[in-house]
Chain A
Amino acid sequence: MALPKRIIKETERLMAEPVKGISAVPHEDNLRYFDVTIDGPGQSPYEGGVFKLELFLPDDYPMTPPKIRFLTKIYHPNIDRLGRICLDVLKSNWSPALQIRTILLSIQALLGAPNPDDPLANDVAQKWKEDEKGAIETARQWTEQYAKP
C-alpha cells in the first residue's frame, strides 16, 4: 500500500523542524516505523535521561492512533514493565487531528506529571502514593542506570 501523503508530510516536517528534546526518525525499510527518543523533562526525576521509544503508524493512521512503546526501562506509574503507556490520547481520546509531534509532546508531559490515580503499573503507583519521595528517588536512580546516553 502506498504511503499516504500525510505520513510523508509529517515525516518531512519532523525532520525539517524537530521539536526540542524529541527526535523521531523513520526506518529506511519501513517508513511507518519510527525510532523515537525523548529527553526527560526538567524538574522531574527523569531529567538528564534520554528515553528510547518505538512508534508504529498502523495502516489506517491517522484514523487510529499510532502504537508507541518505551524501549528504555522507566520507573513511572503510567508506564508498565513492557513499556506500554497509559495515556488517553493514545486510546479513546485519539483524534485524527493529532499527529506524531503532538503525541510525543504529550508523552514528554506525562513524564513531567505522573498520574498515580490512573495507573498502569500498580506497584509503582502504590509506591508513588505511599512514599512519593522514595518513588521519585527510585525513578531518578532508574534514569541514571538505564537512560544515560
Chain B
Amino acid sequence: MSSASQPIPPPNDRRGSRSSRSSSNAGFPEPMNSSDIAASESSGFVVGGPPGSPSPLALRASTSPHRRKSRGARIPPDFHLLDYVNTPDSNLICLICHCPFDRPVRLACEHYFCRICLDHAWDAQPEGCKTCPTCRHKVDADEEPLPVPKILERMLDELLVRCPNSKLGCPWVEQRSNLENHVMLYCEYALVECPASDCRLPVSQKDCHKGCLHYSVSCDNCHTSLLRKDLEDHQRATCQFRFAPCPHCSAELLRLDLNAHINDVCPKATVQCPGSIVGCKYSAERETVAEHETACPMATMAPFFRDQQARIERNEARFEPLVRKVGILEDGLSNITNMLYPANANDSSFPVTNPLDSNNPDAFPPAPLMPTPDFRLPPASFPPAPHNNDQSHSQPPFDSQIHHLLTLHDSLRDELSRVASALSELEGRTSMMIMNENQRVKEEMLHTNAAINGMRVQLHWLMSATLHQRTSASASSSATRAGGSASASGSGRSSASGTPTTGGATMRGPAVGMPPLRRLSDSIRQDTKL
C-alpha cells in the first residue's frame, strides 16, 4: 500500500456530513435510476454504427459511470467500470470480467481472479465442488482463495485511471489507489442532491453552494430558455452570440470572460499604478503602467506595505479574543475572592485579618513586619485601593486592577508558605516533646526493673534460709519438704506464716521430685516480664 502518496484525509466532520447526506436520501436513487436507464436504453437504439467501429459500444460504455453517478449520494467507484489511461497489461486482466483485477485472489493452480468475479462464478456451482474457472482444477474451499503477491497489488494500484466523472468535466487522472478518496471526498464533479429541500434533481458538488439551480432562465444574448445550471455551459459553448469584442483592445473573446479580461489582462484598459495604496496617483493603460511600475518607488514598496497591513490586521484580530479572555479571568478571580471572603464582598473598607495570625501570635513573626496588603482584600468591583485604612499609607495605591490582583496573589502565596513553615516547626516541637517523655519513661522502667530484681534476690535469700532451717530441723524428710516449697507463692506464704502443712507436702513430694531452685527462678522470670 502506497499510503505515502495518498492525500491526507480530511477532518471527520466532512465525512460525517457526507454520510449523513447519503443516508438522508436513501430512498432517492431508485426512481431517478430507472428513468435514467430508460433514457439510456432508448439512446442505445438510436446510436448505431457499422460493424467494426466501436462507437455505439464506446458511447454506451462511457455513459454507464455517468448514470451511476446520477444518484444523489456519493457511491464508491466500481473498479470494473473505470476508464484506464493506458491499455493495461494483459497479465493484469481478470479472465472473468476482462478488466484489471479488483482485489485479486489466487487459487492453488496459480490462476488469478477478482474476488467478486470468483464469488459470482462459484455461486453458479454446486456447494462442495468448486473448480477453477480457467483450468477446472478442484478447489479446496477451506484453504482457497489465497492472497496474491504484494507486487501484483502494487502494479494494480499504480495503473492510471480517469475519474468516473470525467464526462462531466473532471480532469482528475491519477493512480488507481487514490481513486476512492478522490471520488468519495474530493471530486467536485460528483453529483449530489440539490441543496434545495423541495428539489430532487442532482447537481454537481462544485455548484452545490450556489443553491438550487433548477429553474428556467433565458440567455441574455440569444434569449433561449434553459435551466440555470446549464447557463454557463451554454454561454461558453453553444450560444451563437457567445463572442464579443473587447471595447479596449477589440480582441474577440467569450462574453462570459469579458469582465475578467478587462480587469486582469487587457493591455489597453486603463488601470491604476499598484502603488496607489501608498498614494501614487499615476493611472494609464496597462502597458504604460507596467513601464511606470519599474520606476515608481511606491509601486516597489506596495507589496511590503500590503504585507504589513495584513499583519497588522491579523494581530488586531488576535488581540480581540485576548481582551475578552482577560475580562473573563478577572471576573473569575473576583468571584473566587468573594467566595473566600464573603464579608468583604459588600464592604470595601473592612480590613480582614488573618485568623491564623490572631490565634497563634507566637508561631509567626510579629504582625507589624508583615506586608500590609496581605489581609486587605478588595471587593468584587475592584475600586482603587482605599486610603482610609490604618495601614494603607505604607503601600502605594494600585495603579491597575490586574496589578492589585497580582499583588494579592503574591501575598496569599507568601502567607501560605508562612503557614507551611509554622506547621513544620510545630511538628518538630511536638516530636521533640514526645521523645523527651519517652526517655523519661524508659529510665523509670529501668529503675523499676532493678528494684524488682533486688526484691527477687532478697526473696531468694529468704527462701533458701527457710529451707536450710527446715532441713536442719527435720533431716528425715528433707526431700519431701523441699518439694513442698516448690510452688512459688504457696511456699512463700507458708514460710511467712511459719506453719507449713506437712500433709500437703507429703502429697506433692513423690509426684514432682524436681529441684526447687529451678521452679523458683521460673516464676520470678515471669514476674520480671510483667
Contact = CB atoms under 8 A, between A and B. Distances in A.
Interface string B105-139: 00000000000010011011000000101101000
A5 interface: yes
Given A5-B61, A5-B80, A96-B117, A28 B56 contact: yes
| Chain A contact surface mostly | loop
A31 interface: yes
Contacts of B58: 12
Nearest to A11: B57
Nearest to A13: B98
B133 A97 contact: yes
Contacts of A15: 51-54
Interface residues of B, number: 32
Given A28-B48, A29-B45, A8 B61 contact: yes
Interface residues of A, number: 26
Nearest to A62: B96
A97 B95 contact: yes
A82 interface: no
Interface string B31-60: 000000100100011001001111011101
Nearest to A29: B45
A64 interface: yes
B60 A3 contact: yes
B97 interface: yes
B168 interface: no
Interface string B149-176: 0000000000000000000000000000
A96 B120 contact: yes
B102 to A, nearest CB: 11
B30 to A, nearest CB: 14
A63 to B, nearest CB: 5
Contacts of B56: 28, 31
Contacts of A63: 120-121, 123-124
Contacts of B57: 3, 8, 11-12, 31
B64 interface: yes
Contacts of B120: 63, 96
Contacts of A64: 124
Contacts of A90: none
B133 A96 contact: yes
Given A25-B51, A28-B48, A63-B121, A5 B98 contact: yes
9 contacts: A2-B64, A3-B60, A5-B81, A5-B97, A8-B60, A15-B52, A28-B45, A93-B136, A96-B124
A94 to B, nearest CB: 9
**Which of B56, B58, B98, B99 counts the most A-chain CB atoms under 10 A from its CB?**
B98
B67 interface: yes
A25 B96 CA distance: 21
